[in-house]
């Protein structure tokens, strides 16, 4: 880092007394002419000629014959100027009129910048100081000083005529780098401009005297405005000048914060890690040597790991998307398809719609974005049960149920137990045995995406309590129709089976209900003929039924 500087110097035209020979020390009184109706310049004698006390001080007289004019005084338009002079009525070697009056005018052509009428009425020698100001609009001015007592040959003495900028210049020499030595210079005296009583003030209570002030080992803490005051030519005019001092530092500290993953370039070094780094830059005649220290702070990025990786949902489902390790010091904002989701500023979000989700976390001015979470919504399968029976089936009959078909569908029927003895419960078409008159049956259908749908029906059956009884059998031991046995329906339970001969004798009393009657009686073959039977049984409706009839035994 090169710290360039330049000395900012005020610029004024002839920046002290712009009036030439305003103290009349040069003889003859060069630079002066007379102003009509005056006919001469009388600026050759010491003040003691006119009643004064300082023999070496030459003064000028203003009377009916003598006046003063100086032309082509260079000024800067728009800049304020002081005009100062002193005067005394003549009190020696003749007495001037009392009062003795004169006029002072500053102008250029027809433009008048200042006009003052002075009255000198002192009875003994006494200087009166005058200080006034004007602002010219031209780059040259003329000053006239003339008596207004036009019949008096004796008049007023004037001296130390001064025109000077209100703001005096201060220059600087030396090095203004921290640790350097510099000198502030007020305007110096010359025969036309005599400065006296220099006084300086500055920052931190600084005071000094003299035309020059030298500061050693300057530091930035000495920055500020330094002001000098001094008298110019007489005690009448006190002038002021100032200099705004800026001491350029030679040690610089840069505090820089970056986010992890970013870099900072420091004088040719590309830095990624926190730490303290320094370098020295050599200056030249227009720059200071600089020691630069960098304090680099690296803010870690928020942990934006999320779960789940991706999500496949079914219509109507939702899923929580979460930051794995949410931090109370991190501000979150969730996005869907790069659009911020209003109000979703927590560590988790309930996703119900398909899309690409991300979350941005911000901490300490540093941000990071999570990976993308793709949420896919799959359609539900079609679940519909069709009952194939046109009429109400009997209890314990086999009933066929059929589901709507679809690509990649899987089926589960409930309750499973009704289908286990037939087709099982995992096919599109199943057959079940339903012992109850009203049986709720439900179906779950899964598609290839794992989405499910359900349907249910009530399978209604009726109690079919009629039972078939054979009306003949031939117990001849040929293994064909050797036993008489009622054919019970499912859920029917035989309670009593009795057979009587034609005379009413009981020949069979349910001795072997699993096989039935074998055509024997009392250990002997019963005679062929017609017999009577009597049955008692229960049905699926839990009622008791009786049945009577005849049967024929064939031999």
Q: Which domain holds residue 349?
A: 308-378
CATH number at residue 505: 2.60.40
Q: What are phi and psi of 296, to 5 degrees?
A: -100, 120
CA atoms of 133 and 79, how far apart (whole Å):
10
User: pLDDT tens-digit profile of 83-138?
Assistant: 999 999 999 999 899 999 999 999 999 999 999 999 999 999 999 999 999 999 99
User: pLDDT tens-digit profile of 331-384?
Assistant: 999 999 999 999 999 999 999 999 999 999 999 999 999 999 999 999 999 999
Tell me, yes or no, whether 214 lies in a domain.
yes
- 238 and 258 fall within a common domain: no
Tokens for 52, please give them.
């004064």
- 502 and 453 fall within a common domain: no
Tokens for 418, please give them.
């009704």
Residue 9 has pLDDT above 80, yes or no: no
Q: How large is the average pLDDT for residues 413-440?
A: 93
CA atoms of 23 and 433, how far apart (whole Å):
141
Residue 4 has pLDDT above 70, yes or no: no
Tokens for 34, please give them.
């007379």
Tell me, yes or no, whether 173 lies in a domain.
yes
Q: Which of 474, 523, 520, 465 is nearest to 494 (CA)?
A: 465
Q: Which of 175, 225, 236 is nearest to 6 (CA)?
A: 175
User: pLDDT tens-digit profile of 162-195?
Assistant: 999 999 999 988 878 888 899 999 999 988 899 9
Q: How large is the average pLDDT for residues 392-406?
A: 89
CATH number at residue 182: 2.60.120.260
Contact indicator for 165, 80 with CB cutoff of 8 Å = yes
Contact indicator for 202, 31 with CB cutoff of 8 Å = no
Give residue 151's pLDDT band: very low, low, confident or very high (50, 70, 90).
Answer: confident
- 221 and 87 fall within a common domain: yes
Tell me, yes or no, whether 1 lies in a domain.
no
| Final residue before a domain boundary, out of 359, 378, 397 | 378
Structural domain total, the chain: 5
Contact indicator for 133, 116 with CB cutoff of 8 Å = no
Predicted confidence at residue 275, as pLDDT, reads: 96
- 159 and 204 fall within a common domain: yes
- 176 and 30 fall within a common domain: yes
DSSP 8-state code for residue 372: P
At 303 the three-state DSSP class reads: coil
Cα angle at 180 between 15 and 207, to 5 degrees? 55
- 454 and 495 fall within a common domain: no
Predicted confidence at residue 462, as pLDDT, reads: 87
Burial profile 220-232: b = 16 or more Cβ within 10 angstroms, e = fewer: eebbeebebebbb
| Strand partners for 73 | 141
Strands 167-168 and 238-245: parallel
CA atoms of 293 and 278, how far apart (whole Å):
4
Residue 37 has pLDDT above 90, yes or no: no
Q: Which of 157, 191, 180 is nearest to 89 (CA)?
A: 157
- 278 and 315 fall within a common domain: no
Tell me, yes or no, whether 508 lies in a domain.
yes
- 363 and 402 fall within a common domain: no
Tell me, yes or no, whether 101 lies in a domain.
yes
Tell me, yes or no, whether 335 lies in a domain.
yes
CA atoms of 155 and 16, how far apart (whole Å):
29
CA atoms of 466 and 538, how far apart (whole Å):
10
Taking the mean position of all CA atoms in its chain, how far away is CA 171? 48
Give residue 6's pLDDT band: very low, low, confident or very high (50, 70, 90).
Answer: very low
Q: What is the chain's length?
A: 555
- 158 and 75 fall within a common domain: yes
% of the chain with per-residue pLDDT over 70: 96
Give residue 513's pLDDT band: very low, low, confident or very high (50, 70, 90).
Answer: low
Among all chains, which residue has been given the structure tokens 């079940």?
432
Give residue 497's pLDDT band: very low, low, confident or very high (50, 70, 90).
Answer: very high
Tell me, yes or no, whether 183 lies in a domain.
yes
| Final residue before a domain boundary, out of 207, 224, 246 | 246
CATH number at residue 340: 2.60.40.10
Q: How large is the average pLDDT for residues 487-514?
A: 87
Tokens for 344, please give them.
């979703």
Give residue 390's pLDDT band: very low, low, confident or very high (50, 70, 90).
Answer: confident
Q: Taking the model in full, what pTM does it have? A: 0.51
- 192 and 149 fall within a common domain: yes
| Final residue before a domain boundary, out of 348, 378, 408 | 378
Contact indicator for 155, 48 with CB cutoff of 8 Å = no
- 350 and 403 fall within a common domain: no
Predicted confidence at residue 154, as pLDDT, reads: 94
Tell me, yes or no, whether 157 lies in a domain.
yes
Q: How large is the average pLDDT for residues 429-447?
A: 93
- 397 and 531 fall within a common domain: no
Over its C-alpha atoms, the chain yields an Rg (Å, rounded) of 65
């Amino acid at each position: 880092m090169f710290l360039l500087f330049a000395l900012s110097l005020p610029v004024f035209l002839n920046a002290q007394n712009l009036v030439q020979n305003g103290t009349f020390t040069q003889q003859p009184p060069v630079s002066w002419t007379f102003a009509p109706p005056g006919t001469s310049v009388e600026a050759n004698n010491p003040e003691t000629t006119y009643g004064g006390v300082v023999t070496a001080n030459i003064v000028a007289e203003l009377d009916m014959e003598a006046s003063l004019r100086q032309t082509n005084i260079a000024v800067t338009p728009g800049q304020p100027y002081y005009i100062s002079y002193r005067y005394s009525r003549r009190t020696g070697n003749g007495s001037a009129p009392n009062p003795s009056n004169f006029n002072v005018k500053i102008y250029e052509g027809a433009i008048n910048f200042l006009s003052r009428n002075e009255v000198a009425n002192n009875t003994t020698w006494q200087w009166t100081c005058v200080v006034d100001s004007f602002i010219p609009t031209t780059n040259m001015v003329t000053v006239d000083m003339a008596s207004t007592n036009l019949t008096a040959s004796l008049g007023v003495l004037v001296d130390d005529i001064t025109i000077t900028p209100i703001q005096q210049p201060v220059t600087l020499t030396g090095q203004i780098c921290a640790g350097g030595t510099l000198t502030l210079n007020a305007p110096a005296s010359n025969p036309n401009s005599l400065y006296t009583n220099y006084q300086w003030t500055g920052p931190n209570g600084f005071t000094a005297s003299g035309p020059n002030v030298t500061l050693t080992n300057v530091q930035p803490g000495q920055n500020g405005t330094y002001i000098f005051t001094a008298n110019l030519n007489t005690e009448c005019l006190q002038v002021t000048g100032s200099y705004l001092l800026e001491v350029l530092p030679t040690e610089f500290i840069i505090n820089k914060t970056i986010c992890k993953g970013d870099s900072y370039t420091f004088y040719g070094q590309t830095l990624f890690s926190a730490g303290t780094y320094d370098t020295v830059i050599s200056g030249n005649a227009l720059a200071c040597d600089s020691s630069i220290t960098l304090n680099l702070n690296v803010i870690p990025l928020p942990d934006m790991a999320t779960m789940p990786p991706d999500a496949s949902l079914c219509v109507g489902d939702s899923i929580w998307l979460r930051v794995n390790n949410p931090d109370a010091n991190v501000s979150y904002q969730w996005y869907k398809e790069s659009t911020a989701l209003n109000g979703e500023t927590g560590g988790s979000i309930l996703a119900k719609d398909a899309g690409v989700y991300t979350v941005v976390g911000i901490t300490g001015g540093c941000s990071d974005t999570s990976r993308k979470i793709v949420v896919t919504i799959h359609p539900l399968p079609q679940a519909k049960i069709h009952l194939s029976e046109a009429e109400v089936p009997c209890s314990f009959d086999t009933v066929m149920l059929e589901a709507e078909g679809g690509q990649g569908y899987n089926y589960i029927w409930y309750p499973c137990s009704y289908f286990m003895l037939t087709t099982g419960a995992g096919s599109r078409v199943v057959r079940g045995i339903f012992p109850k008159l009203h049986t709720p049956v439900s179906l779950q259908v899964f598609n290839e995406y794992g989405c499910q749908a359900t349907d249910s029906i009530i399978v209604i059956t009726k109690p079919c309590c009629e039972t078939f009884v054979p009306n003949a059998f031939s117990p001849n031991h040929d293994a064909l129709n050797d036993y008489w046995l009622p054919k019970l329906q499912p859920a029917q339970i035989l309670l009593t089976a009795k057979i009587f001969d034609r005379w009413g004798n009981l020949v069979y009393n349910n001795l072997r209900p699993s096989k039935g009657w074998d055509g024997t009686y009392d250990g002997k073959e019963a005679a062929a003929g017609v017999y009577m039977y009597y049955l008692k049984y229960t049905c699926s409706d839990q009622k008791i039924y009786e049945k009577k009839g005849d049967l024929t035994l064939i031999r």
